[in-house]
Structure 1
């Protein structure tokens, strides 16, 4: 038996096993089978009332657009056939946004699933665990904003007028921050993610860098930088004081 025949047999076996597994899964889970078969459908916008919250957890392939306001209504934009399983679940002061449809990888998301949400102005934490994006529709007025990118695949881009901003990432996401803040604290906990905050004028700025990519900042009065790995920290300002503790191969660079 030559190599060509062996490859042909191997391919036939793989195709047979794949078909068998697919049929088994479909027969064992009719709900998932229906999800796989259904199309996206007509694009709709549906308003959903949410209870007051201070934590937002974003999961799956949903894009989140945040804004200021006083209403407790979220607007969901998605296909008609997908809409029933776009979940906005409240647990205490936490709002969890998720897509419970299965077989999403089979669909063409030319029209992405988007949730528009009004944030409280006192304190809010955005916890990103999915692969959608988080953007602001305008300048966010917020006293205390915490951003977590936890093994996430989606990027974050925010315009801010804030008191305290804390950004934590252990993922490969790209976080971009613009505007102004009294205090900015960035912790890149490993990973290859980037934080570009050179357009966020922060009176005081602290960076703890344990990753391998670049962090950019614009401290106005005081900057404090700790580098423990290979990633660089670049600052684009002339702060009154700049201190550093460099124990990795990364560098503190003035632009």
Structure 2
């Protein structure tokens, strides 16, 4: 019996990873906060239980504000590599703690051209983000919601979460896959070019043109009849292109 306890304890410590052994026996601690400053970036990668709030503010670009259990804050890494800010939660011993905590990160930036969301990270924008071309790769289990203004946005979503976009852009392009969905009903676009591979409905809003491909049972719903063209190029699924 003593050997069983010893082996179980050893596996617990080793399972937490090198240099994080105290993580498994440390409590969450009280709510805390800290502020960091990082180098210039135009891309953001975020993952694993981080709630990210985006703030476009050139004067404060590079400032990152973190809030959450004080014993976990130091395990949130904020590293810039090749112009990409990588936000990662290095806490590896959630299985010995309650999951009832929040790691909130507010990021100030000047420009953004790529956003990658993984695991169960959540992303929101505080205000409207001005863009030239923004690529969004949404592979997480949690939803994201952004307000945009500018030229072009591209969305690739997988897994099972929703991407919500509002504002005004010239062109929306995207591919919506697995069991994710896109709500861009409040994003006014001149043109929308969308591939739908999902069984869920997607909603769009194009004033000039729609170019749609449907490969699954999810409908593509649009707000108003476009003035120039409405093309359903592929329809191999049972989903329909129709006005909401």
Q: 1:100 — aligned with what?
A: 90
Q: Tell whether 2:117 aligns with 1:131.
A: no
For residues 66 and 21 of structure 1, what CA distance do their matches in structure 2 show? 45
CA contact (8 A) 1:46 1:76 kept: yes
Q: TM-score, normalised by structure 1?
A: 0.86
1:79-98 pair list within 5 angstroms: 79-98=69-88
Gaps (5+ residues) in structure 1? 1-15
For residues 28 and 170 of structure 1, what CA distance do their matches in structure 2 show? 33
For residues 209 and 199 of structure 1, what CA distance do their matches in structure 2 show? 18
Gaps (5+ residues) in structure 2? none
Q: 2:131 — aligned with what?
A: 142
CA contact (8 A) 1:145 1:162 kept: no
For residues 74 and 239 of structure 1, what CA distance do their matches in structure 2 show? 41
CA contact (8 A) 1:184 1:202 kept: yes
Number of residue-to-residue matches in the alignment: 236
Work out which of the residue numbers 203, 219, 225 in structure 2 matches 1:238. 225
1:1-255 pair list within 5 angstroms: 22-28=8-14, 31-70=19-58, 71=60, 72-108=62-98, 110-121=100-111, 123-150=112-139, 152-188=140-176, 190-240=177-227, 241-245=229-233, 246-255=235-244
Q: Relative to 1, partners in 2 of residues 1:21 and 1:133: Cα closer, same or farther, differing over 3 Å? A: farther
- Of structures 1 and 2, the larger Rg is shown by 1
Describe the superposition over 1:182-207 as per-residue Cα deviations: whole angstroms up to 9, x where unpaired. 1111211x310111000111111111
C-alpha displacement at 1:112, in angstroms? Answer: 0.9
Q: TM-score, normalised by structure 2?
A: 0.89
Describe the superposition over 1:103-142 as per-residue Cα deviations: whole angstroms up to 9, x where unpaired. 2244445541011112333x42110012021001111122
Q: Relative to 1, partners in 2 of residues 1:146 and 1:28: Cα closer, same or farther, differing over 3 Å? A: closer
CA contact (8 A) 1:62 1:130 kept: no
For residues 204 and 170 of structure 2, what CA distance do their matches in structure 1 show? 13
Q: Please report the RMSD computed on the Cα atoms of aligned residues, expressed in angstroms.
A: 2.0
Describe the superposition over 1:33-78 as per-residue Cα deviations: whole angstroms up to 9, x where unpaired. 4212212212222111111112211111101100110122111112
For residues 107 and 144 of structure 1, what CA distance do their matches in structure 2 show? 41
For residues 134 and 159 of structure 1, what CA distance do their matches in structure 2 show? 11
Describe the superposition over 1:135-175 as per-residue Cα deviations: whole angstroms up to 9, x where unpaired. 0111112222111012x111101111121111101211111
CA contact (8 A) 2:33 2:73 kept: no
